[in-house]
Amino acid sequence: MIPSLTFTAALLGLASASPLGLPGFKRFAPSKLGHLHKRQVPQEHSHDFVLVITREFLNLDNPKNIQDPVFGLLGDGAAAAGAGDVTNLACLKQETADQAFTNAKAAGDLRGMAGALLFQAIERNTAGVGVASKLCTEQAVNPEIGALTQHQDAASENAGALNKAITLELAKQLAGIGADPNLALLSGTFAPGDVSCTSLIRFYRY
């Protein structure tokens, strides 16, 4: 089932007279989702609407001085430049999601909590196609965040089953906070790439 465009736009704070005209949202129109095809885009920009929401709520209170949520989606080399006081780079994405969720929960903001959950679930970049990202083994402050791990490169081992399970768990956590569980569909990762490719540009389904 494709998420209701009206409900999704309203929940994520993207509703307007013409929500499809907003940057970072047009690709998620039902007409687009109904005809998936491949397009090369940088991975860290493929979920811009999630980054926008997570950034907004992280900035409300950022005790570990994380420079920007996008660093949590990058490999260790690039992530280190924006990790602030976070030393375990495998946990930078979780630290970011956890703090954003905490801030949104304190503000009673469903949009912010849903955005943080989506951020926790989306794929983190790796050094090559078919390479799985390292998982954070530290305990999250919020159990809703701790229940989730990130999607893995679709060409990595057992990624199909793993990513489906992550999407289902994300839907469960979204429903648990009162958000539309169908928003979990927006966390989807890239189509499998060529494992012989060394470029950090991936194929993304939208």
When pLDDT is cut at 50, 70 and 90, the band that residue 161 belongs to is confident
Mean pLDDT of 156-166: 78
Span 79-128, pLDDT tens digits: 999 999 999 999 999 999 999 999 999 999 999 999 999 999 998 876 66
**Could you give the dihedral angle defined by the CA atoms of residues 117, 9, 154 and 89, in that order, rounded to the nearest 10 degrees?**
-40
Bridge partners, 38 (sequence order): 205
Bridge partners, 205 (sequence order): 38
**Could you give the dihedral angle defined by the CA atoms of residues 115, 163, 71 and 54, in that order, rounded to the nearest 10 degrees?**
0
**CA 1, CA 18: separation in Å to the nearest integer?**
23
Span 3-52, pLDDT tens digits: 444 444 444 443 322 222 333 333 433 333 333 333 333 454 567 899 99
Residue 185 in tokens: 């569909």
Amino acid making up residue 3: P
Which has the minimum average pLDDT: 17-31, 129-143, 167-181?
A: 17-31
Q: Which residue has the higher pLDDT, 195 or 142?
A: 142
Of the candidates 150, 144, 89, the one whose C-alpha atom is nearest the C-alpha of residue 124 is 150
